[in-house]
Every structure is written in C-alpha cells, then in structure tokens.
Chains A and B, each alone.
Chain A
Amino acid sequence: MKSCPRCGYANISNTLFCDACGTPLRDDIVVEPTRLYEEAVNGGGVDDFHRRAPPSERTTLVTGQWALIILPQRHMVRLPEIPSIVLGRGHHHKDPFIDLEPYGAHVAGVSRRHARLTRKGMGVYIEDLASTNGTYVNRVRIPAHTPTPVQPGDVIKLGRLKILIQSE
C-alpha cells in the first residue's frame, strides 16, 4: 500500500503514478514539464532522452513559461502569463492568486498572503508580503517588500513549504 501524498488515495505498492490523480509516487520520477517540448525542438528521439544533460548544461529555451514545483510531492503549478501573482492560502482574493492550501500550506506556516511573484522582462522576482514565517530564496531569508530575482533551479521556501522554480 502506498498513500498518494497529494490526494491520499491508497495505491497498490510498486505503483508509479497515483491511480486517482496521476501524481508520481516515487522520488526518482522527475517532473520536467519542458522535456518533450525540448525534444521536439531539438529533433531528438528516445536515445537523447536517456542521455539527457543535467539542467545546468541544457540550452535554455526562453519562452516565458515558468512553473512552481511544490516539494516534496513535486506537484507542478504553472505560472500564468500575467505581470504579478500572489502565493498564499484561501480562495477569496481580489488579485490573481495561487492557493497553496492543497499542498499542506497551513501546516507549513504559509500566510494567507505570503509572497508575490512579479514578471519583469524575461525574469521573475519574488517579494515577501510581510509574512509571519518569512520567505527564503536558496535558504537565505529575504527582507519584506523587497523584490528579489529568482532563477530556474532556485528553491524558495514559504515558511516551511519548499518550492522549486522551473522555466522553459
């Protein structure tokens, strides 16, 4: 038996993806949203697939598509292509909002309005909105109300909730 970290469904052991929601159930299954897209662009087949370069050596395709990978379940949330969005908990917000409640945000000490992600040009900035438990970029706490640039591969932490930044 293997409970899905996302939806709690009791899967048979040895299962790779949750039968109820499709969430990868093994830590070694990588969620790489851009992988097939890159292959299509580079014309590679499965051979390249097996010899895939680590992220640092890969040519970056700048298409402006960013995603948050919420650890440890590696659940992916795509950032909509809008100038700014707030991360936090709950539904009733006026501005664009990503609700982290389904990923255990409350237990992890995420504030209702915790941080804001802003796009400027090709880059993305994170700003702590005076949250109770703070915002960290690669383990360094950032001051409140100060937009700090983030890059693909960075891990941000809202309270104790870790999120990996990815982009195409």
Chain B
Amino acid sequence: MAAATFREDFYNQLGISPRADETLIRRQYRRLARLLHPDTGTQPDSAGFLSIQEAYDILSDPIKRREYDHWLREKNLFPPFHADILHGPHVLRATHSPQRLYMLLDLRASKEAANRPPIINLVLVIDQSSSMRGERLFQVRQAARMVAERLGADDYLSIVAFNDWADVVLPAQHRPSPTTLMEALNKLQATGGTEIARGLEAGFAEAQKFHTPGSVTQIILLTDGNTYGDEDRCIALAHRAAMQNMSMTLLGIGTEWNDHLLDKMADISGGQSYFLREPRDILRVFEEQLKNLRTTIASHMTLSITTPDESELMNVYEVSPGLKRLAPQDDGTYVLGALYNKPPRKVLIDLKITLTGDQRLFIPCTLDIEARLIGQTRPLPLRLATPLNIEAISESKLDYPEEIIEAARRAIVARLQEQAWEAVSKGDVQQAEANLALLVDRFLELGERDLAQLAEKELSRLRATGELSPEGTLELKYGTRMLALPAPPEHQSSEGA
C-alpha cells in the first residue's frame, strides 16, 4: 500500500547511502533542512525541502524504512555500490582564519544489489628478455597454468611475449586446453632486450577482441627491465586502455625496471603497480588479480572535486585498498580505479577552508563520481555535496571520527615518503635523511616494525654512502602502499557525537 508513495531516490535525496544509521539520517536531514527551508534556509528551495521531507518521513521510521528497502530490492533498484562521506571535524568553526577539513569518501559494493560475476578477459604480457631466464620464466609458466585452471568456461585468456619484438603466443580464446597452453608457454624463450610498448600494443589488440560491456578486461604486464625510448607510447596505451574501460596491472620484478613509468601507467589506467622481490611472488599476485577481477562491480571510477572560493584542495589520497597520494589527470579528475566486492575504496580529501561571510552552513565541496558498472554501457554518475554546520566552538572541542584520524595518519606517511624520494632524485641528501628519520617513527606508530627497520637501514646507508639501495627503495615505496586502513566494519558508524 505504501509503495505508491515510494520513490527510488530517497537515499540520494538525503545524500546518504542505504548503509547510514539513524543518527546519520537525522543529522543529514537537519543539515539539509537548515539549508533548504523556504522561510529560514540559507538557500531556500520549497520543492527541494518537500522532497527531503518526504524521504525523511520514510527513512527515519524503522518500519517504513524496512518496507522501503524491501520495495527497492523487489524492483531491483538498489544501487550496486554505496557512497558515504565522513567529515573530520564534523562541524566547521565560525572563524575567518584558515581551517582544515578532512573528508573520507567510502565507496563499497552493496550487499543488497544482485551481483553477477563478470566475464573475465585477461591478457598476460610477459617480458622474455634474457634476464628473465631460469626461475623467473619458470614461475611465469606456473602462474599462467594456475590462471588457466581457474578461469571459467566463458572467460578469455591471451598471452603475449615480448623482448625487442612481440609474439602473440596464445591468441585470445576461451580457457585453453592444457596442451594448447603448454605449447604456448614453450614458446617463451629468454633472449634479447626489453621493449615494453611492443608487448603492450600486441596485448592491447588481443584485449580488444572480446572486450564487451559485460566483461572486465585487464592487461597484466610483467617485466624485469628498463625500456628505452618507448615510454611515451606506453603512456599513450595506458590512456587508450582507460578510455576503453580496461585496466592495466604492472608488475616489476627485480630492481632494474622503471618504477616511475609503471606507476604512471597504473595511475592513468586505474590499475595497480607492484614490486615483486622474488619470482615466486608472481603466482601470489596473479591469484590476487584473478580474485579481484571475479568480484568486480565497477571496472572504472573517476572522481572530480569542485570547490567553492572558500575551499582550497590540498591533497587527495587513496587510503584503501592501497595507500598513495592521487595526482589529478590533465582534465582535473582523479582516477580511482576499479571497485571490487571487497575491500571498499576509500579516498581522503584534504581541504583548507577560509570562511568569509557569517553563514551558518557551508558546502565544502561537491564530489562527482562516475562509475563504469559491469554490464552497463553508460557510466553511472553520482553527485555528493554535504553541507556542514558552522558553530562557535574552540578547536580543542572538535570531534574527529576515529577513521578520519587513521586515514590522516596514513596520508602523512605517504606524503613523507614521496618527499623522501623527491629529495633523493634531486640529490638533496639532507632532506632525504630527515624524511627517512621521520618515516621510521611514523612506521613504528603504525606498528610496522619491518618497514621501520628497513627505513632505518636505508637511513644509515644514506648517511654513510650518500645513496640508497635500489632494493630498499623499492621495498619501502611499495611497502608503504600496503598501509591501507584496516578491514571495514560491517555497520556504518555515525559521524562522531
């Protein structure tokens, strides 16, 4: 009977996700009511006010809310993922001097939405230069066999080997038979140099053969060498992959590869780059990739952040599933990469706000998320803009959610280590030493003893020789990326008291 009064966008109206608890629903309603109220609001909007009123009437009543959730589920209208924002502090101070605001964007797959596993279209692009000889190629063959065994009958696999030229050893096809695969893998011969762009171009061609909206297409590149002169072609390919909704996973093995290039390609395509210390790590990373691909909800997500004059965007960090500072693309958007069933993707947005008027409410920024969902031809847009109350409150009385503190704690670690590598590359040994010394403490505060010891070791090396070891640098850099926020709680906690 109530169904007639239900509309599918009640959660969106209040700018919350179906994970929100009662406290958050109430707080969010009050914020919006203060903004939109026809008589007393700062941005009066009677139609807008009526629709949040309508949404609040249903969502604030546990019984009506359950009926509504049931109705959404029946109609298959539950969004495939939730987006929530946490603010720290949860109010702004009434002051005209600059103040900081942290926002944590939490994107996660919704349990309610029907979840069909996508068709996997996987391309392995394998370096077969002479340095890959022995253990490395042996492990590649093992890992490829594991991948083929675990693929479903509808999935696709292709393998490209490259050195100074590229060779499609397994053209894109459904799960190959063991004999076909063995013949393909036997063609891997470790000779010659490393020219990544050639391998990627051939891999890209294979990827396109079976790339559909219902498939999740990934190119996994494994290399152990530096590529020369074709960096721009590699970057261009990463852009093309992103445009076509494919991602790249880039694996560097040993210490002779170009981490900057691989990182950049990962950032552009929304994929990940890894440092593999041992050949046996290949199998583990392939397994992880396969698991992620199987549970992909959105193959690609981007975020754009629009700030009013009063807000200045300081930094944006990914704090889950990995830890790194995100750099904006040329068009100002941030590539967030794919969303899997688990873990959630969390982004820390660091703002400097200088209020000018004497308003009671302020919208620090507008977040526009664009997600390319599996099986959908058009990206799903989502806009989030939460007003915050402005109160006369002293700084010491401010309240920060625990998760914001933990995210900010990690963000500073990402920043300090980035500055350390910058200093090293500029030859500023003193700055690099200072940053490494700080990192030792920060790692210990996070309980990361191994990384702390590693940083300490590199610090003494730097003091003694003025240089870092390539292996230590890579281990620290990629080790820091693993310092994501710990596993998520099952229930949404409200934003402080």
Chain A positions within 8 Å of B, measured between CB atoms, are 1-2, 11-19, 21-22, 24, 26, 29, 31-40, 45-47, 49-50, 65, 67, 75-78
Contact B413 A16 (CB under 8 A): no
Q: Within 8 Å CB of B440, what residues of A? A: 78
Chain B residues numbered 52-100 whose CB sits less than 8 Å from any CB in chain A: 88-89, 93, 95, 97-100
Cα of A56 to Cα of B485 in the assembled complex, Å: 26
Q: Within 8 Å CB of B99, what residues of A? A: 12-14
Q: Within 8 Å CB of A21, what residues of B? A: 416, 438
Whole-angstrom distance from the CB of A70 to the nearest CB of chain B?
Answer: 11
B102 at the interface (CB under 8 A from A): yes
Q: Which of B26-34, B220-228, B444-452 contacts A (4 or more CB under 8 A)?
A: B444-452
Whole-angstrom distance from the CB of B214 to the nearest CB of chain A?
Answer: 33
Q: Within 8 Å CB of A49, what residues of B? A: 402, 486
Cα of A100 to Cα of B101 in the assembled complex, Å: 34
Q: Within 8 Å CB of A35, what residues of B? A: 447
Q: Within 8 Å CB of B98, what residues of A? A: 12-13
Contact B446 A36 (CB under 8 A): yes
| B452 to chain A: closest residue by CB | A78
| B442 to chain A: closest residue by CB | A22
Whole-angstrom distance from the CB of A167 to the nearest CB of chain B?
Answer: 13
B490 at the interface (CB under 8 A from A): yes
Given A22-B442, A36-B448, A16-B486 contact (CB < 8 Å): no
5 nearest interchain CB pairs?
A36-B447, A37-B447, A45-B487, A14-B100, A22-B412
Contact A45 B486 (CB under 8 A): yes
Given A36-B448, A39-B486, A76-B444, A46-B395 contact (CB < 8 Å): no
Q: List 21 A-B contacts (CB under 8 A).
A: A1-B97, A13-B100, A13-B395, A14-B89, A14-B395, A16-B102, A16-B400, A17-B408, A17-B411, A22-B409, A22-B412, A22-B413, A26-B396, A32-B445, A33-B446, A37-B447, A38-B447, A49-B486, A65-B449, A67-B444, A78-B452
Q: Within 8 Å CB of B438, what residues of A? A: 21-22
B13 at the interface (CB under 8 A from A): no
Whole-angstrom distance from the CB of B430 to the nearest CB of chain A?
Answer: 15
Given A16-B400, A22-B438, A31-B445 contact (CB < 8 Å): yes
| B444 to chain A: closest residue by CB | A33
Q: Within 8 Å CB of B89, what residues of A? A: 14
Cα of A21 to Cα of B485 in the assembled complex, Å: 20
Q: Within 8 Å CB of B413, what residues of A? A: 22
B236 at the interface (CB under 8 A from A): no
Cα of A31 to Cα of B444 in the assembled complex, Å: 9
Whole-angstrom distance from the CB of B160 to the nearest CB of chain A?
Answer: 38
Chain B residues with a Cβ closer than 8 Å to the other chain, count: 44
Contact B449 A16 (CB under 8 A): no
Cα of A36 to Cα of B411 in the assembled complex, Å: 16
> Do most interface residues of chain A lie in helix, strand or loop, or is the interface mixed?
mixed
Whole-angstrom distance from the CB of B211 to the nearest CB of chain A?
Answer: 36
Within 8 Å by CB of A46, from B352, B404, B448, B486, lies B486
Contact A33 B447 (CB under 8 A): yes
| A27 to chain B: closest residue by CB | B396
Contact A46 B488 (CB under 8 A): yes
Contact B447 A16 (CB under 8 A): no
B489 at the interface (CB under 8 A from A): yes
B398 at the interface (CB under 8 A from A): yes
B403 at the interface (CB under 8 A from A): yes
Whole-angstrom distance from the CB of A43 to the nearest CB of chain B?
Answer: 10
Cα of A78 to Cα of B95 in the assembled complex, Å: 40
Given A13-B97, A29-B405, A50-B400 contact (CB < 8 Å): no
Q: Within 8 Å CB of B444, what residues of A? A: 33, 67, 76, 78
Chain B residues numbered 388-445 whose CB sits less than 8 Å from any CB in chain A: 395-396, 398, 400, 402-405, 408-409, 411-413, 415-416, 438, 440-442, 444-445
Cα of A87 to Cα of B90 in the assembled complex, Å: 42
Cα of A115 to Cα of B307 in the assembled complex, Å: 54
| B99 to chain A: closest residue by CB | A14
Cα of A38 to Cα of B93 in the assembled complex, Å: 36
| B438 to chain A: closest residue by CB | A21
Cα of A67 to Cα of B443 in the assembled complex, Å: 13
Residues 338-370 of chain B: 1 if any A CB is under 8 Å from the residue's CB, otherwise 0? Answer: 000000000000001000000000000000000
| B398 to chain A: closest residue by CB | A14
Q: Within 8 Å CB of B488, what residues of A? A: 45-46
B493 at the interface (CB under 8 A from A): yes
| B410 to chain A: closest residue by CB | A17
Q: Within 8 Å CB of B442, what residues of A? A: 22
| B402 to chain A: closest residue by CB | A50
Contact A47 B489 (CB under 8 A): yes
Q: Within 8 Å CB of A11, what residues of B? A: 100
Q: Within 8 Å CB of A26, what residues of B? A: 396, 400
Given A37-B449, A75-B441, A12-B100 contact (CB < 8 Å): yes
Within 8 Å by CB of B88, from A12, A16, A67, lies A16
Beyond A16-B409, A33-B445, A45-B489, 8 additional contacts (C-beta under 8 Å) are A12-B98, A17-B411, A17-B412, A21-B416, A22-B413, A32-B447, A35-B447, A46-B403
Q: Within 8 Å CB of A38, what residues of B? A: 447
| B400 to chain A: closest residue by CB | A16
Cα of A37 to Cα of B443 in the assembled complex, Å: 11
Contact B487 A16 (CB under 8 A): no
Whole-angstrom distance from the CB of A42 to the nearest CB of chain B?
Answer: 12
